[in-house]
């Protein structure tokens, strides 16, 4: 069951989720990073608190209380462990797609298990030749008498080693389409991807579809609408990543304040040196700014405003860039110790770098943000 709210603002209070992260998630983040796998018991811990179903509100059959609460949950998990937050992100994307575009048969088959965390979802869009330009995807879906046959090659699938159900994008005779496919299908091979810079515990896989037969009900949404569905799902992914980056920023701030308050150099604590203060001030300011941008995107989602799409791009671009810069400064502030596993800041830096690439790289966000600004004559997005 979800944790009950203290304040009545949703299924979780921030204090409750923060305490859970401090007790259960953060202490294991280094282990997940070093072993490049998560312990299955943590999936059950998340399930016990209803976290896998939080992207859907209770009214929609989920466990969540809206996007503002979701942002807090994904920020807190991201503060403790970016690998777990990445797994939550792609799972949430698959569940969101199922709920919004799935057939009744597919919902009957998967929704309750995905909400409960009895099954995990993953998102398969990127291919060897189709990265940022995902419209160039080559995976194919051929219609048969009783369903579809999928062929193709997907790369960098977060949670791909663990997932039970895959949201797959493939090209039909009509155009790109989305499918929800059981990962245990004999036409699917999963190859673990190791030695990634960051989010090493998120168990990334390369996935090959070879004559993969699925039923007619595997199609999600109208045939030919795959790119629009991918864009809608990426908006949820970007939102989650942006919130997770706020978590990385907060973790960097916590680590820097703690170290600057205890390390002496030149006859003074580090915190008394003005150049150190500059680093801490910048991280503190960017943490707050990123959190406000995510909060704005969340509010706009909760009110159903289309402005949330651009607000989410802006939040993701700012939060990912700020998190990478903050983690770089956090390593700097820790000196040589920051370059060892004695402190978590090196992991924060590796995880933050990944955030500048996934769910639309920083360059892609810049393109989208600039296009929107120019198209709309630099209009002001309402704050609330």
Ligand X SMILES: Cc1cc2nc3c(=O)[nH]c(=O)nc-3n(C[C@H](O)[C@H](O)[C@H](O)COP(=O)(O)OP(=O)(O)OC[C@H]3O[C@@H](n4cnc5c(N)ncnc54)[C@H](O)[C@@H]3O)c2cc1C
Active-site residue numbers?
Answer: 359
Which member of 9, 289, 339, 357 binds ligand X (CB under 6 A)? 357
Least separation in angstroms between residue 220's CB and ligand X is: 15
Q: How far is the CB of 365 from ligand X (least distance, A)?
A: 9
Among 35, 265, 363, 376, binds ligand X (CB under 6 A): 363
Q: Which of 26, 51, 90, 297 binds ligand X (CB under 6 A)?
A: 90
Q: Does residue 304 come out as left (phi exceeding 0), alpha (psi in the -120 to 50 range) or beta?
A: left
Q: Is there a contact between 167 and 123 (Cβ–Cβ < 8 Å)?
A: yes
- Residues 134-173 within binding reach of ligand X (CB under 6 A): 156-158
Q: Which stretch binds ligand X (CB under 6 A): 107-115, 205-213, 286-294, 363-371?
A: 363-371
The answer to whether residues 53 and 62 touch, using CB atoms and an 8 Å cutoff, is yes
Q: Which is nearer to ligand X, 44 or 370 (CB)?
A: 370
* Choice between 5 and 357, CB closer to ligand X: 357
Tell me the closest approach of the beta carbon of residue 280 to ligand X, in angstroms: 29
Separation between Cα atoms, residue 263 and residue 267, nearest integer Å? 10
| Cα dist from 383 to 243, 321, 370, whole Å | 18, 22, 19
Q: Does 82 bind ligand X (CB under 6 A)?
A: no
We find the least distance from the C-beta atom of residue 383 to ligand X, in angstroms, to be 29
Query: What are residue 319's phi and psi, to 5 degrees?
Result: -65, -40
Report the alpha-carbon distance of residue 256 to residue 314 in Å, rounded.
26
Tell whether residue 204 is a contact of ligand X (CB under 6 A): yes
> Whole-number minimum distance, CB 2 to ligand X, in Å?
25
On whether the CB atoms of residues 278 and 303 are closer than 8 A, the answer is: no
**206 to each of 87, 124, 158, how far by Cα in Å?**
16, 9, 9
For 52, the 3-state DSSP assignment is helix
99-138: which residues touch ligand X (CB under 6 A)?
123-126, 131-132
The residue from 9, 339, 361, 369 that contacts ligand X (CB under 6 A) is 361
- Asked if 75 and 243 count as a contact pair (C-beta separation under 8 A), the reply is yes
- By C-beta, is 5 or 196 nearer to ligand X? 196
The nearer residue to ligand X, 13 or 161, going by C-beta atoms, is 161
DSSP string, 312-326: HHHHHHHHHHHHHHH
Closest CA to 115 of 91, 86, 148, 142: 91
Stretch that binds ligand X, among 215-223, 246-254, 305-313, 357-365 (CB under 6 A): 357-365
**Size of interface with ligand X, in residues (CB under 6 A):** 20
Residue range at the interface with ligand X (CB under 6 A); choices 33-41, 257-265, 290-298, 353-361:
353-361
Residue placing its CB nearer to ligand X in the complex, 34 or 132: 132
Q: How far is the CB of 129 from ligand X (least distance, A)?
A: 8
- Number of Cβ within 10 Å of residue 27's Cβ equals 12
Residue nearest to ligand X (CB): 131
Distance of CA 343 to the CA centre of its chain: 24
183 touches 97 (CB < 8 A): no
Q: How far apart are CA 249 and CA 245, in angstroms?
A: 6
Pick one of 5, 196, 289, 381: the residue that binds ligand X (CB under 6 A): 196
User: How far apart are alpha carbons 329 and 324 in whole angstroms?
Assistant: 9
* Closer residue to ligand X (CB): 47 or 196: 196
Dig out the tokens for 340 from the structure: 């060892």
Judged by beta carbon, residue 127 or residue 291, the one nearer ligand X is 127
Tokens of 40: 């299955």
Residues that bind ligand X (CB under 6 A): 90, 123-126, 131-132, 156-158, 196, 199, 204, 354, 357-358, 361, 363-364, 367
């Amino acid at each position: 069951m979800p944790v009950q709210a203290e304040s009545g603002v949703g299924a979780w209070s921030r204090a409750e989720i923060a305490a859970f992260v401090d007790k259960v998630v953060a202490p294991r983040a280094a282990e997940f990073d070093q072993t490049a796998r998560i312990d299955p018991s943590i999936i059950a811990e998340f399930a016990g608190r209803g976290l896998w179903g939080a992207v859907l509100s209770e009214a929609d059959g989920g466990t969540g209380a809206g996007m503002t609460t979701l942002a807090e949950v994904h920020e807190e998990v991201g503060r403790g462990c970016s690998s777990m937050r990445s797994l939550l992100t792609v799972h949430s994307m698959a569940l969101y797609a199922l709920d919004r575009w799935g057939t009744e048969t597919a919902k009957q088959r998967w929704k309750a298990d995905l909400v409960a965390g009895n099954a995990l979802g993953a998102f398969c869009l990127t291919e060897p030749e189709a990265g940022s330009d995902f419209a160039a995807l080559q995976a194919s879906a051929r219609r048969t008498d009783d369903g579809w046959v999928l062929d193709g090659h997907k790369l960098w699938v977060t949670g791909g080693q663990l997932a039970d159900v895959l949201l797959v994008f493939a090209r039909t005779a009509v155009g790109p389409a989305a499918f929800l496919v059981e990962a245990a299908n004999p036409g699917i091979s999963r190859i673990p991807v190791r030695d990634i810079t960051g989010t090493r515990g998120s168990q990334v896989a390369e996935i090959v579809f070879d004559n993969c037969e699925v039923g007619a009900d595997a199609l999600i949404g109208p045939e030919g609408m795959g790119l629009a569905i991918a864009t809608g799902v990426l908006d949820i992914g970007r939102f989650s990543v942006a919130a997770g980056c706020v978590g990385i920023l907060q973790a960097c701030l916590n680590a820097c304040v703690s170290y600057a308050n205890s390390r002496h150099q030149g006859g003074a604590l580090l915190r008394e040196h003005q150049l150190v203060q500059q680093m801490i001030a910048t991280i503190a300011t960017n943490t707050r700014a990123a959190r406000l941008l995510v909060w704005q995107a969340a509010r706009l989602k909760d009110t159903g405003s289309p402005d949330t799409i651009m607000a989410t791009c802006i939040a993701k671009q700012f939060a990912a860039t700020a998190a990478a810069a903050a983690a770089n400064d956090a390593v700097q502030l820790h000196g040589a110790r920051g370059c060892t596993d004695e402190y978590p800041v090196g992991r924060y830096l590796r995880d933050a770098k990944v955030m500048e690439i996934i769910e639309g790289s920083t360059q892609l966000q810049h393109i989208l943000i600039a296009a929107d600004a120019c198209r709309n004559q630099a209009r002001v997005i309402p704050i609330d």
